[in-house]
Amino acid sequence: MPFSLEAKVALVTGAGRGIGCAIAQALAAAGASVMINDLDSEPATAAAASIPGSAHLAGDVTNPAFPQHLVDATLARFGGLDIIVNNAGYTWDNVIQKTSDDQFQAMLDVHLTAPFRILRAASAHLRDAAKREAAAGARVMRKVVNITSISAGGNAGQAGYSSGKAGVIGLTKTLSKEWGRYNVNVNCVGFGMIQTRLTQPLTGAGASIRIQGREIAVGVQPQALEAVKTACPLGRAGTVEEAAGAVLFFCSPLSDYVTGEVLICGGGMHF
């Protein structure tokens, strides 16, 4: 069944590179106008340059004031908001006895609190639009997709990340019940091992990302990557395009009667 997202407006966080960029590209290819957010201005600008008709706004989604600014900027630029994909995130792992309060809180802030604030900021627009449409005898479905992980089921060394990703499932299921009356589908996509800079093999060079002045090591031990491939029924890590495909389903009319669900895109691996 073909579908089009023509005249739809999407907001995707963490869309400067990796999975987020692939999601933005898939939405734009289906006809949507896309607001691209990323922490860093350079990848946000580059992603927007590669997607015709898109716009970008760099900024930190964990800054308490930024989510409202991001939603307002999207509405000002495109005149509406139909699809929200809360994708921004990163891992900062350690066993619990070596995890600081700041480290644990950072994972909750980016994976759970930021999506909460973005959705709260968008709530007035979503409610008002639904009421206007109902008064006119129309039903227009809108979409929220929150990104979780198979780590939401628990993963050694990821107390903070797993807690944040489990929490966003609860947020998703709650909003699916609150926002059904406004014709908003609220769902989760949970990723397994997807090939991104965060899951690249660790090397002696020690790859890292810079978040709020901190240098955080990223990557996975090569033996752990091989173990995942062995455990995965499909025998490999997924591509960012495959990850984006699962999100696109929840953003499309194909999911108009699906809400409060978690779709695992993990090659057969689960919680």
Catalytic residue set = 161
Question: What is the DSSP track for the chain?
Answer: -----TT-EEEETT-SSHHHHHHHHHHHHTT-EEEEEESSHHHHHHHHHHSTT-EEEE--TTSTTHHHHHHHHHHHHHS---EEEE-------B-GGG--HHHHHHHHIIIIIHHHHHHHHHHHHHHHHHHHHHHTT----EEEEEEEEGGGG--TTBHHHHHHHHHHHHHHHHHHHHHGGGTEEEEEEEE-SB-SGGGSBP-TT--EEEETTEEEE--B-HHHHHHHHHHSTTSSPBPHHHHHHHHHHHHSGGGTT--S-EEEESTT---
CB-CB contact of 15 with 47 (8 Å): yes
The CA distance from 72 to 122, in Å, is 8
